[in-house]
Every structure is written in structure tokens, then in C-alpha cells.
Amino acid sequence: MNIMIKKLMGVDGLAHFIPEKLSVVYMDGVTATEPVIPRYYTLTHSDLTGELFLAIGKQYAWDKINPLRDEVLGEWKTNGISLYYCVYLYIDQGQLNENVSAKRTEIFRRELPLALTAIRYGDRFLFDTYSNLDHASIIVHFMSAYPQFAKQENWGNFRSYSL
């Protein structure tokens, strides 16, 4: 097992969030506390170093997305009076075989708690300013051409992913 991966792994074998490995950049008119809407998140990573990169802007950072499409995209939305957070995970568009899509789904499910913790920590100044955001629902969209992987699920709220 690679040394860097060992550093990221805990005793249970799952990756744990290390704040020092997260880089955050605010783009195009977005600050640490404004605006809430529109506010888009693009979380990418380096397989080599274990570093995480969070871009927060008024649109997704499409230029940061690699051809493997293993990023985590998110945005704040409103359903009238309350806010909720949408996550979009690209599994496939039918170009992968079912086994590869199953493996991608498994990896996204395993790594999503770490990703949500990184997003919550990376945008902590927004959460400090608007404490109600910690109680907003997180709705995850698994996007796949295969019906068994194409799901929409409630993953709780950011309070569960706070350090």
C-alpha cells in the first residue's frame, strides 16, 4: 500500500479528513460569507498526494474537472422558504460497463462522508455566519444510465459532517 494512502487511512481502513490537505479558492465574486445563492462547489482531489481542492464560485469550476469525472459537485438551492444542499456525483452516461459503474458507485458512497466534511470545513466561515445551513438537508444525486445506480438520497445535514 502506498505510503500516502496509509497516511490518509485510519485504523478502520477508511480515509479521514485532514484539514491541512484541503486547499480552498473563492471564484468570481464569491467571498467567504456571500452569497449563499448562487454558490457552487467543485471538489476535486489528487490520487498521488491525497490533497483535496475546493473551488467555490457562482458556477462550477469545469476547468478543474478531469476526464475520469470523479469530482463532487454541490450547490445550495431553495424550495420556497428553506435551503437544501444538492450533491451531484457522475457515475456514468452508459459508456462504462455495469461492473465499472458499480465500483464507481461503491467508491463514491465510501468517500462521500469525507467529501462532505471537506466541503463543510472548507466553507466553515459561511456556516459560522449562517448557522441554519448546518440543519439543511443534503440531497445526493447519483447520476447513471443504469437504473440500479441512478438514485436520489437524503444524506442528513451538515451538522453530521462538522469537525
Per-residue pLDDT tens over the stretch 26-78: 998 999 999 999 999 999 999 889 899 999 999 999 999 988 889 999 999 99
The continuous run of DSSP H or E covering 113 comes out as: helix 98-122
d(CA 86, CA 74): 5
Residue 15 binned pLDDT confidence (cut-offs 50, 70, 90)? low
* % pLDDT > 90, the chain: 80
| 8 A C-beta contact, residue 74 and residue 116 | no
User: Whats the size of the chain, residue-wise?
Assistant: 163
Per-residue pLDDT tens over the stretch 114-157: 999 999 999 999 999 999 999 999 999 999 999 999 999 999 99
pTM of the model: 0.89
d(CA 124, CA 130): 10
Cell, residue 56? 467555490
The pair phi, psi for residue 95, each rounded to 5°, is -80, -15
